[in-house]
């Protein structure tokens, strides 16, 4: 097997979690073949948005932390590009691994492809078909800068084909002759791997929060469309509060700092009112093991997160999606996730349906066999075997 140097770029919470699936498999099976250099852009920096995952998921501390932090899209992305470019010039990796659709992904894709380092994109091909989402632009541009593209679902693979990518391309693969794969989802690998560990390591977590199994609803909200429009955010939360009271069920909300910041600065009185409600528990972001426990033991999930939507499926929970559209269309087609936008009537209808539903929902295996990271790393090594 060849000896390759792989630059693993992370920045936002979900990417750190995703990278743990890759790091774990490198350590376990490929430590003689792959040297992994971790670059953290610093897009997320609060302890509970970053360090907690490195500690808990046993990821190597980043070899580089660019410390970019929060800023507008242009400034944040350009600072990342500058920092990543410097690392690329110094490290001269064989390839650059990117996850998902954040500004860190886009910065990595632009910096690497312009310096002719092969880009490998995990979670390729996802599309919301809504280009007002910053993530949609990031995805499209990252995919079209990539040499190997790993699509996690049938829908994502078909999207790539519709954009002109061809599965029949043969090696050597380049940015002009990219290879697309249909794989599973590395987050499914992670959920399987960490579910048992979560039970062991966090045995008292639910009890400490006074939560009883199957008797609370897990809510996360962080998407810019929901947090930056305060009327919309308030309407969602008023609707949820009313539903909690009518159904006498606890809403547990580990909120992203972005959402807390909006509540504190723009909806101060309403935030106080929410905190007074005994059926609403707003807490800071939790660790991934804690999140798994919440997902596994809740009654239903309400979210605008991409990752949490999928995890609702892994843990067989109905999911209400606070968005107009989703990239994970198989969940909606399956009837176990419902798109409600921020419409109070739709939120109410789906909430009431799910909470009272006597029908046992079906959760087919859309996301692979739990060994997707292994498959991806073998394919990366194969590319270099042919090259060297």
Count interface residues toward ligand UD1 (CB under 6 A).
Answer: 19
Measured in whole angstroms, the distance separating CA 289 from the mean position of its chain's CA atoms is 15
Nearer to ligand UD1 among residue 227 and residue 370 (C-beta): 227
From the list 140, 182, 249, 257, which residue makes contact with ligand UD1 (rule: CB under 6 A)?
A: 257
Q: Which residues in 83-142 contact ligand UDP (CB under 6 A)? A: none
State the chain's maximal CA–CA distance in angstroms: 65
Sheet of 64-65: strands edge to edge? Answer: 64-65, 34-40, 4-10, 95-99, 119-122, 148-151, 179-182
In which residue are the tokens 């009271």 written?
Answer: 245
Distance from C-alpha of 100 to C-alpha of 135, rounded to nearest angstrom: 9
Distance CA 48, CA 256 (A): 10
Rule CB under 6 A: say whether 307 interacts with ligand UDP. Answer: yes
When CB distances are held under 5 to 8 angstroms depending on the partner's kind, the choice from ligand UDP, ligand UD1, none that residue 254 binds is: ligand UDP
- By CB under 6 A, residue 43 contacts ligand UD1: yes
Place of tokens 């929901």: 226
Q: Do the Cβ atoms of 120 and 150 come closer than 8 Å?
A: yes
Q: Which is nearer to ligand UDP, 62 or 254 (CB)?
A: 254
The residue from 108, 184, 285, 370 that contacts ligand UDP (CB under 6 A) is 285
Instruction: Point out which span in 163-171, 194-202, 305-313, 361-369 binds ligand UDP (CB under 6 A).
Output: 305-313
CA dist 157 and 108 (Å) reads 22
CB of 34 to ligand UD1, least distance (A): 26
| Residue 48 DSSP one-character state | G
Site for ligand UDP in 192-251 (CB under 6 A): 220, 222
CA torsion through residues 367, 369, 370, 373, sign:
negative
* 45 binds ligand UD1, rule: CB under 6 A: yes
Please answer whether residues 227 and 262 qualify as being in contact, where contact means their C-beta atoms are separated by less than 8 angstroms.
yes
Q: Is the dihedral of CA 27, 28, 34, 38 positive or negative?
A: negative
Say whether residue 311 binds ligand UDP (CB under 6 A): yes
For position 228 contacting ligand UD1 by CB under 6 A, the verdict is no
Q: How far is the CB of 105 from ligand UDP (least distance, A)?
A: 10
Site for ligand UDP contains 291 (CB under 6 A): yes
Q: Is 3 a catalytic residue?
A: no
The distance of closest approach from Cβ of residue 190 to ligand UDP in the complex, given in angstroms and rounded to an integer, is: 7
- Binder among 161, 213, 261, 272 for ligand UD1 (CB under 6 A): 261
Residue 184 within binding range of ligand UD1, rule CB under 6 A:
no
Handedness of CA 17, 21, 27, 33 (dihedral sign): negative
Helices of type H across the chain: 13-29, 51-56, 73-91, 103-114, 134-143, 154-162, 186-201, 205-208, 224-227, 230-247, 257-266, 268-276, 288-297, 306-314, 329-333, 344-356, 372-387
Catalytic residue among 44, 222, 256, 313: 222
92: left (phi over 0), alpha (psi -120 to 50) or beta: left
Bond before 40 cis per omega within 30 degrees: no
**Between 129 and 345, whose beta carbon lies closer to ligand UD1?**
129
Mask: binding to ligand UDP, 4-43, rule CB under 6 A, as x and -? ---------xx--x--------------------------
Considering only the stretches 7-15, 33-41, 113-121, 360-368, report the one whose residues sit in contact with ligand UD1 under the rule CB under 6 A: 7-15
Residue 337, interface with ligand UDP (CB under 6 A)?
no
Closer of 102 and 326 to ligand UD1 (Cβ):
102
Site string for ligand UD1, 121-140 (x = CB under 6 A): -------------xx-----
Active site residues: 222
Q: Which residues bind ligand UDP (CB under 6 A)?
A: 13-14, 17, 220, 222, 254, 285-288, 291, 305-308, 311
């Amino acid at each position: 097997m060849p000896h390759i140097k792989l630059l693993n770029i992370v920045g936002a919470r979900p990417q750190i979690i995703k990278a743990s699936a890759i790091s774990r498999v490198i350590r376990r099976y490929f430590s003689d073949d792959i040297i992994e250099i971790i670059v953290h852009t610093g897009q997320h920096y609060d302890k509970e948005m970053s360090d907690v995952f490195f500690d808990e998921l046993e990821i190597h501390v980043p070899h580089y932390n660019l410390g970019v932090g929060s800023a507008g899209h242009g400034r944040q992305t350009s600072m990342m590009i500058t920092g990543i470019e410097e690392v690329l010039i110094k490290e001269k990796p064989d390839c650059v691994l990117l996850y998902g659709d954040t500004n860190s992904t886009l910065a990595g894709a632009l910096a690497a492809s312009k310096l002719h380092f092969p880009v490998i994109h995990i979670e390729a091909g996802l599309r919301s078909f809504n280009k007002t989402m910053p993530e949609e632009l990031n995805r499209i541009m990252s995919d079209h800068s990539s040499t190997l593209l790993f699509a996690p679902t049938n829908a994502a693979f078909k999207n790539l084909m519709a954009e002109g990518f061809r599965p029949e391309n043969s090696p050597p693969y380049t940015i002009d002759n990219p290879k697309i794969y249909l794989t599973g989802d590395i987050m499914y690998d992670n959920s399987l791997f960490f579910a048992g560990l979560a039970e062991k390591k966090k045995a008292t977590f639910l009890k400490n929060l006074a939560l009883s199994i199957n008797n609370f609803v897990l809510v996360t909200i962080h998407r810019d469309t929901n947090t930056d429009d305060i009327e919309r955010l308030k309407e969602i939360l008023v609707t949820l509060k009313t539903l909690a009271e009518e159904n006498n069920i606890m809403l547990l909300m580990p909120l992203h700092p972005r959402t807390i910041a909006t509540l504190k600065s723009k909806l101060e009185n309403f935030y106080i009112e929410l905190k007074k409600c005994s059926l609403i528990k707003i807490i800071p972001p939790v660790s991934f093991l804690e999140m798994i426990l919440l997902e596994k033991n809740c009654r239903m999930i309400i979210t605008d997160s991409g990752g949490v939507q999928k995890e609702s499926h892994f843990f067989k929970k109905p999911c209400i999606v606070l968005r107009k559209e989703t990239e994970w269309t198989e969940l909606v087609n399956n009837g176990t996730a419902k798109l409600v936008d921020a419409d109070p009537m739709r939120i109410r209808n789906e909430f009431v349906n799910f909470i009272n539903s006597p029908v046992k929902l079906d959760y087919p295996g859309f996301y692979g066999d739990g060994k997707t990271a292994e498959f991806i790393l073998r394919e990366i090594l194969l590319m270099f075997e042919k090259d060297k």
